[in-house]
Amino acid sequence: MAEGYERVLLMKSEVFVFRIPPLGASKGHKAADWNLDQPNWVGRLRLLTVDDRLEIRLEDKSTGVLYAKAPIESAPSMDFESVTDSSRYFVIRLKNDNGQTAFVGIGFSDRSDSFDLNVAVQDHFKGIQRDHELAKEDESRPKLDLGFKEGQTININIGGLKKSEKSTPRSSAPSSGDGPVPLLPPPPSSSSRVRRAQN
């Protein structure tokens, strides 16, 4: 199947991947249970959308070759969740093209990197929720039919001129000064000037 339109939301140049023990009776995963000083893999992380689907891709730092990917359908969920004892580590569910899944831990040396990832994931799902709410509002609004029905006409009145002004011609007599300035007669032509000079 061809990949859809991809948009990168976040890229971090260094991420650590850890094997994690099965979740016990306690609520939530703890990074302290992992072997934090010996990560199983180190590479780069890209968070991207493929059409509307959110996905984490773990890739080789230098070549960009895909190591694993983790589709995230909602958050927090089994696809993406924070650990209970640190803000720098998360548990994600990797999924290959055959549908096989595995849970791994990921983490960052810098706390701001984990904050950026968490915010980008949350913002994505908030945006989707906003879009759904707007679509519902549009559906619930009554549709206005502003088109003309067959045979329907409209009349447009253009204001500005009163009927009395249109029908009566203006007098050429000078006014008292409150009204418009009267038009002056045109200057005499050159032939009438010559006649006057001869007289």
Name the residue with tokens 């253009």: 158
Residue 30 resides in a domain: yes
Residue 152 resides in a domain: no
Q: Which range is least confidently modeled, 23-32, 92-101, 123-132, 140-149?
A: 140-149
Residue 105 resides in a domain: yes
Q: Which residues contact 57 (CB under 8 A, 6 or more apart)?
A: 45, 46, 47, 48, 66, 68, 69, 70
pLDDT at 166 (0 to 100) = 52
Residue 56 lies in domain: 6-139
- List pLDDT tens digits, range 145-157: 777 778 888 888 8
The rounded mean pLDDT for the chain is 84
Q: Is the pLDDT of residue 163 over 70?
A: no
Residue 16 resides in a domain: yes
CA distance 106 to 90: 5
Total tally of structural domains belonging to the chain: 1
> Confidence band (pLDDT; 50, 70, 90) for 186?
confident
Residue 102 resides in a domain: yes
CATH of residue 75:
2.30.29.30
- List pLDDT tens digits, range 29-61: 999 999 999 999 999 999 999 988 999 999 999
Residue 56 resides in a domain: yes
CA distance 188 to 196: 11
Q: What percent of the chain has pLDDT over 70?
A: 83
Report which of 41, 44, 38, 50 is spatially closest to residue 4, judged by C-alpha positions: 50
> Confidence band (pLDDT; 50, 70, 90) for 177?
low
pTM of the model: 0.65
